[in-house]
Amino acid sequence: MTLLDLEQIKDKEIAGRKKIVLRCCLAAGCTSSDSKNVKARLDQAVVAAGLQDQVEVRGVGCMKLCCDGPLVQVDPANTLYIKVTADSTPSIIAALSGGKSDLPQGDPQAAFFTKQLSIVLANSGVIDPERIEDYIAADGYLALHHALTEMEPRGVVEAVVQSGLRGRGGAGFPTGLKWSTVAKSPGAKKYIICNADEGDPGAFMDRSVLESDPHAVLEGMAVAAYAVGADQGFIYVRAEYPLAISRLQIAIKQAKRIGLLGMGVFESPFNFNIDLRIGAGAFVCGEETALMASVEGKRGTPRPRPPFPAERGLWDCPTLINNVETFANIPAIMRRGAEWFASIGTEKSKGTKVFALAGKIKNTGLIEVPMGTPLRTIVEEMGGGAPGGGAIKAVQTGGPSGGCIPAQHLDTPVDYESLTKLGSIMGSGGMIVMDETTNMVDVARYFLEFCMDESCGKCVPCRTGTVQMHHFLEKILAKKATARDLTHLEELCDMVRNTSLCGLGQNAPNPVQSTLRFFRHEYDALLQPELHSGGNGVAQPQPLAGAK
Amino acid sequence: MGRLKLATVWFGGCAGCHMSFLDLDEFLIEVAGQIDLVYSPIVDCKEYPEGVDVALLEGAICNEDNLELLHKIRARTKVLVSFGDCAVTGNVPAIRNQLGPDNTTNVLQCAYIDNAQENRRLPTHDGIVPALLARVVPVHEVVPVEHYLPGCPPPADRIKAVLTQILAGKPPHLEGAQLKFG
Amino acid sequence: MAAKTLTVDGRQISAENHTTILQAATDAGIKIPTLCHLDGVYDVGACRLCLVEVKGTTKLLSACTTRVYEGMEVTTNSERLQKYRRMTLELLFAERNHTCAVCVANGHCELQALACELGMDHVRYDYCSPKWGVDATHPFLGMDHNRCILCTRCVRTCWHIEGAGTKNVAGRGTKSYIINDLNEPWGESETCTSCAKCVLSCPTGALFHKGATVGEMERDRSKLAFIVNAREKKQWVV
Ligand SMILES: Cc1cc2nc3c(=O)[nH]c(=O)nc-3n(C[C@H](O)[C@H](O)[C@H](O)COP(=O)(O)O)c2cc1C
Ligand code: SF4
Ligand code: SF4
Ligand code: FES
């Protein structure tokens, strides 16, 4: 494989394109509402109408407005059909030749679409994720070629540093810094891991990226491997994502076949293989040290850091671990330059962020917006507010480890620092909208229960502290708790945060603490008065009659 | 200066703590002048009096009677001391909690039917066996408690240490081996 | 070997490179409470009792897994740490059924001893009172899951001192428990060599010799460290 080969594939692909393209979403959201069948029926209808020379029906990845799926987009007419059924397919084809159709349509000019800025999702819903040619036609693997043939590994690391990219897996650690640490770590053998364990309830950003544009992740990993000196990569993807797994398998096979992975990539001395590791559904296995234990075939439990994976990771070798979305940003950064990337977003949070918009909101689905976009823009303009026009009460970000941001803070720009300041986190990108009917204590209980169930059981505070926090919340909700219980709960939150071994336990109190911060009155309203005064060991005894 | 009004109470426990209390031997005589024992299994008094200074509470809270009495005690007492492991932790009486929410049925069945020699029937008449609580709990789970005196039973010298400090007007403080459960 | 100088609780001490804070403090006669640490096996940092404050970081670090460095300033016993430790013990006592009065290890239990040492005189949380069983299938050893604190000392001892690999952890969260092989009854384990080193390692009454009386539950754990020392450093005298 050479640059020339790559260009030939691209040219051939573009030359073979038909005049009209019907893009039919085949990502998990739409396939769950029968889009596979829609695609098959569209194919049939095209043949029946004798249009196969002019019309291509392309199975694509996520087209973002998941709540209205199955989605079919017609190019170049820019018509978006929503809630398409198999039976409505003939009428879509008829409309191509000027027939009138009264099928439900979405508005491609709606704020939901126009306020998006696609870097990570640029190919999502556009290319056929199962065809490497389609990815190459969208300038795929040019970034890898550029890195391998025109740059030193050090230069690649430098570019990532310059871009200001930060990890999209939760903590927002500067990606360039991580890469340079791994690059500098001594060791003949190094590994790259892509964290595709995405375990937050309500989050499906990484799944969509893998299902819609798997090659972008592979290419990002390959660039990283070159930059840090690794020759083996693993993608750790959860078993609950069968479609993502199958698309990754296809993509790896295709890339290997044409020499974009494997020995001597682009006929250079660079070797890089990628294998999949399938997670068995433990949330904690998204934590990097637990994930690595799991890849090694051990019980997936975290271990104390340091040493960090960058120094001692898989099988004690220096290991670079990044999130799916982090890797998916890399090809664009390499192609378009660090400066371009750094020009998007805020001072400390560069680029875009993909969010999975869910909960009490009209438009649920996937959005990618520049860092710094106000929450209000996302929730009200793009998301269309609560269905039925009710008032929005809070937005939960960061998944079970995140926090609830109350409506009065909706003007907060979405970036790492601002969300942290409000007691929440960016997290991996789950965004759950709550309306005025939501009971915030119950929300806290729900997320805490998730952490309690998902605790790996290794360290005491998380394993059993979450159980006791849960007891307290149940007691409060059952209107059996007193102010004394609430004090104990708060004390426990502080203890579990500060003493737990890994991020799961350290962040498990977030839902409780953040709802307490903004919605304490809801807790107070559920408390019962103390039957007796007395201090439970805290109060000093009264001066005693008869004391000497 | 008035005398310290002391009560000792026997909830769900084996009376071992009270035995240990009696093991105080001559200390009991020593302090007799400073204490009025106003309520205790070893005192003939049916109603828990008002205005008690200190109560030593032995035993876990196991049944409705315990519960009712405990609330009364809290309302009428300045300082509560959880006296012995059953009061502090639930201890042996609380083992039945492991049998789950239906444990009361199981426990009664076991005591009055399965292991009974004769007269096998459940005591259902009012006023015979008070209704068991679904969960046996330590005292401080029901009402606030000021001090803890663990041990099964707490040895006499530990009780002495607490009483001495209380009589000296100090909040009792135990540490090290004096705190041992079991 | 390069020595490092550090300050622990205001005292200057020196320690060899690569030693842990726990080791360095212990050598200097400063006691840090531990439960999952056991001389002779590697550390996992699970019980969180040995957490200490280190100047320069807001995170609390487990002394058993954190290596010393030059100029490190460690506080092992602040009010806050004491409070967290007591809470950790409360959580452990509430998690399973630690009825000291009727436990074989009464008086020889590290959990019980720590409660005394750290002044934990009562538990403010609801006792979970779970129903855990006793595995009495082994001819002369037994396991009472009610007393287990999941410190995994037995697991590490079984794998790394005895090399049998019988013991392991199954389940998640508070439902985790110690298993033999692939969750076989202990008596049916094909890998267990009946060496009883796990009993020696156990801090509580979870692992015991059948028929042992309370008085017989005193365990000389230095034997484990002795074996490891003999094996790795060829030192045969303690
Ligand atoms: C409990 C827990 C779960 C996590 N789950 C994920 C996950 O599903 N996906 C992910 O990318 N990172 C997850 N992380 C973060 C990873 O540990 C790690 O920081 C991340 O993969 C690093 O990649 P990044 O620098 O690209 O963000 C999790 C962390 C914790 C503590
Ligand atoms: S914090 Fe929770 S998930 Fe993390 S190591 Fe401790 S028990 Fe396991
Ligand atoms: S059985 Fe003992 S040694 Fe093993 S994990 Fe439980 S408490 Fe620790
Ligand atoms: S002894 Fe260090 S965490 Fe348990």
What's the confidence (pLDDT) of residue A533?
A: 67
Strand order in the sheet with C141-144: C134-135, C141-144, C207-209
Which one of B17, B158, B181 would you mutate to disrupt binding with C, by most C Cβ within 10 Å of its Cβ?
B181
Query: Does A546 score more than 70 pLDDT?
Result: no
Residue A334 clears pLDDT 90, i.e. is over it: yes
What is the per-residue pLDDT for C108?
95
In contact, A101 and A95? CB cutoff 8 Å: yes
Per-residue 3-state assignment (H helix, E strand, C coil) for B102-140:
CHHHHHHHHHHHHCCCCCCCCCCCCCCCCCEEEEEECHH
Residue C101: list chain B partners with CB under 8 A.
85, 91-92, 152, 181-182
A485 to chain B: closest CA residue: B141
The residue nearest atom 3 of ligand 4, judged by CA position, is C45
Per residue in A68-84, pLDDT tens? 999 999 999 999 999 99
Residues in contact with A45: Cβ distance below 8 Å, sequence separation at least 6, in sequence order: A89, A90, A92, A93
Q: Which of A93, A95, A113, A79 is nearest to A38 (CA)?
A: A93
Tens digits of residue pLDDT in A196-213? 999 988 899 999 999 999
Query: Which numbered ligand comes closest to the C-alpha of A504?
Result: 1
CA of C19 to the centre of ligand 4 (A): 15
Q: Is C150 on the interface with A (CB under 8 A)?
A: yes
Q: Is the pLDDT of residue C215 over 90?
A: no
Q: What's the CA-to-centroid distance between A459 and ligand 4, angstroms?
A: 9
Question: Region A480-484: what's the mean pLDDT?
Answer: 94
Nearest-CA residue of chain A relative to C168? Answer: A299
pLDDT at A202: 84
With contacts defined as CB-CB under 8 Å, which chain A residues touch B53? Answer: 544-546
Token pair in block for residue C103? 């436990």
Of the listed ligands, the closest to the CA of A458 is: 2
**Cβ distance of B79 and A541 shorter than 8 Å:** yes
Q: What is the pLDDT of residue A543?
A: 41
Partner chains of B (3+ C-beta pairs under 8 Å): A, C
- Return the HEC string of B157-170: HHHHHHHHHHHCCC
Highest mean pLDDT among A213-217, A542-546, B125-129: A213-217
If interface means Cβ-Cβ distance under 8 Å, which residues of chain C face chain B? 93, 97-103, 106-107, 112, 115-117, 119-124, 126-127, 129-131, 146
pLDDT computed for residue C149 by the predictor: 98
Atom 23 in ligand 1: residue holding the nearest Cα? A322
Q: Among A101-110, A115-124, C6-15, C179-188, where is mean pLDDT lowest?
A: A101-110
Which residue has tokens 């969260």? C173
Count of CB atoms within 10 A of residue B42's CB? Answer: 10
Assigned token pair, A544? 């005693």
DSSP 3-state assignment of C106? Answer: coil
Strands (E), chain C: 3-8, 11-16, 51-54, 60-62, 73-75, 134-135, 141-144, 167-170, 177-180, 207-209
- Domains in chain A, CATH or no CATH each: 18-107 (3.40.30.10), 140-342 (3.40.50.11540), 352-438 (3.10.20.600), 441-524 (1.20.1440.230)
What pLDDT digit, counting tens, does each position of B10-46 carry? 999 999 999 999 999 999 999 999 999 999 999 999 9
Chain A residues in contact with C51 by the CB 8 A cut-off are 499
Hey, of A289, A463, A491, A506, which one would you mutate to test binding to chain C, going by the most C CBs within 10 A of its CB? A463
Give percent of chain A above pLDDT 90: 91
Chains in contact with C, where contact means 3 or more Cβ–Cβ distances below 8 Å, are A, B
Ligand 2 pocket at CB < 6 A: A 284, 301-302, 455-459, 462-463, 500-502, 504-505
Give the Å distance between the CA of A507 and the centre of ligand 3. 27
Global pTM reads 0.94
Q: Is the pLDDT of residue A535 over 80?
A: no
The residue of chain B with its CA nearest to that of A538 is B146
Sign, CA dihedral A266-A268-A269-A270, equals negative
CB contact under 8 A, B98 and C103: no
* Alpha helices per DSSP H over A164-265: 175-184, 205-212, 214-228, 242-257
Instruction: Give the pLDDT of residue A57.
Output: 96
Asked if residue A455 has its Cβ within 6 Å of ligand 1, the reply is: no
Query: Are A201 and A358 contacting, i.e. CB atoms less than 8 angstroms apart?
Result: no
Q: For chain A, what percent of residues have pLDDT higher than 70? A: 97
Q: Give the domains, in start order, of chain B with CATH numbers.
A: 4-94+135-179 (3.40.50.700)
Dist. CA A264 → ligand 1 center (Å):
31
Is C202 near ligand 3, meaning CB less than 6 Å away?
yes
Find the helix or strand (DSSP H, E) in which C222 lies: helix C222-233
Binary contact (C130, B98; C-beta < 8 A): yes
Give the number of whichever ligand sits closest to the CA of residue A460: 2
CB contact under 8 A, C48 and A501: yes
pLDDT bucket at A428, cuts 50 / 70 / 90: confident
- Kindly give the distance from the C-alpha atom of residue A195 to the centroid of ligand 1, in angstroms, as a whole number: 7
pLDDT given at position B1: 52
- Give the residue from chain B lying closest to C114, CA to CA: B176
Atom of ligand 1 nearest to the CA of A198: 8
Q: What is the pLDDT of residue A201?
A: 85
What are the tens digits of pLDDT across the range A439-480? 999 999 999 999 999 999 999 999 999 999 999 999 999 999
- What is the Å distance from ligand 1's center to B98 Cα? 38
Q: Is the pLDDT of residue C33 over 70?
A: yes
pLDDT number for residue C238: 54
A531: contact with B, CB 8 A cutoff: yes
Closest CA to A95 of A58, A42, A138, A59: A42
Of residues C218 and B24, more confidence is placed in B24
Q: CB of C145 within 8 Å of any CB in chain A?
A: no
Instruction: Write out pLDDT tens, residues B56-68.
Output: 999 999 999 999 9
Q: In the Cβ-directed half-sphere of A229, how many Cα atoms lie within 13 Å?
A: 16
What residue owns the CA closest to ligand 3's atom 2? Answer: C202
Give the pLDDT band (50/70/90) at residue A267. very high
Q: Which ligand is nearest to the CA of A509?
A: 2
Is A541 a residue whose pLDDT tops 70? no
Nearest chain C alpha carbon to B153: C101
Q: How confident is the model at residue A539 (pLDDT cuts 50, 70, 90)?
A: very low
Give the residue-averaged pLDDT of A153-157: 98
Nearest to B53 among A532, A540, A545 (CB): A545
Residues C19-45 have a mean pLDDT of 97
Q: Residue A326 pLDDT > 90, yes or no?
A: yes
C-alpha distances in Å from residue A7, one per residue of A139, A146, A263, A391, C158:
9, 13, 21, 53, 59
CB contact under 8 A, A303 and C92: no
- Cα C123 to Cα C94: distance, rounded to the nearest angstrom: 7
CA nearest A208: which of A102, A353, A61? Answer: A61
Whether residue C154 is predicted with pLDDT greater than 50 in this model: the reply is yes
Evaluate whether ipTM surpasses 0.90. yes
C173 vs A466: CB contact, 8 Å cut-off?
yes
Q: Are C125 and A488 a contacting pair at CB < 8 A?
A: yes
Q: Which candidate in C174, C177, C179, C182 is best for mutational testing of the A interface (most A CBs within 10 A)?
A: C174
All structural domains of chain C, each given as residue ranges with its CATH number in brackets, are: 3-76 (3.10.20.740), 83-225 (3.30.70.20)
Selection from A270, A234, A17, A48 nearest residue A148 by Cα: A270
**Helix, strand or coil for residue A173?**
coil
Token pair in block for residue A11: 């040219």
Q: Verify whether the Cβ–Cβ distance C122 to B89 is below 8 Å.
A: yes
How far is CA A499 from each of CA A399, A463, A465, C34, C83, rounded to the nearest angstrom?
A: 21, 12, 10, 14, 11
Residue pLDDT, tens place only, B124-169? 788 788 999 999 999 999 999 999 999 999 999 999 999 999 999 9
Q: What is the pLDDT of residues A335-361, one digit of tens each?
A: 999 999 999 999 999 999 999 999 999
Confidence of residue A540 (pLDDT cuts 50, 70, 90): very low
Report CB contact under 8 Å: A539, B145.
no
Q: Is the shortest distance between the CB of C152 and ligand 3 below 6 Å? A: yes
Nearest-CA distance B78 → chain C (Å): 20
The answer, yes or no, to whether any atom of ligand 1 lies below 6 A from the CB of A169, is yes
Chain C CB contacts of B133 under 8 Å are: none
The predicted structure's pLDDT at residue B123: 84
Q: What's the rounded Cα separation, in Å, for the pair B2 and A544?
A: 9
A468/C122 touch (CB, cutoff 8 Å), yes or no: no
Q: Is the CB of A326 under 6 A from ligand 1?
A: yes
Instruction: Tell how far the Cα of A502 is from the centroid of ligand 2, in angstroms.
Output: 5
Nearest CB partner across the interface for C112, out of B88, B135, B181: B181
